[in-house]
Amino acid sequence: MNDGVSGQGGPGAAGVRGRSISQDGFGVVGYASAITGTGRGVYGQADAPGSIGVHGYSGPGIGVMGVAGATGYAGVFNGRVSVNGTLSKAARQF
């Protein structure tokens, strides 16, 4: 793997951290510009039981958000999905 930026943190610490204090900024951005293949802008992996590959948190807002164009998917889940809380939808029935 040819990393542009790499980091490793100890227990409870971040390997790589980003922060934005701008009204519409991004703390960390991942961008995959491959024309072919399966590039990923952001990748998370969890190997230990109970660990989390990608984690998003927000008090009053959105912890993780996916946005897609007309032919894409904002989210794809392969495997079991667990929802704790209310599952909401904007259109059509499940």
| Mean of pLDDT values over 27-47 | 85
- 54-85 in b/e form (b: 16+ CB < 10 A) is eeeeeeeeeeeeeeeeeeeeeeeeeeeeeeee
Tell if the pTM clears 0.75, that is, is over it.
no
| Mean of pLDDT values over 56-77 | 90
**Rounded CA gap, 35 and 17, in Å?**
28
Q: Which amino acid is at 3?
A: D
The yes-or-no verdict on residue 49 having pLDDT over 80 is yes
Q: What are the residue ranges spanned by the domains of the chain?
A: 18-84
**Rounded CA gap, 84 and 67, in Å?**
22
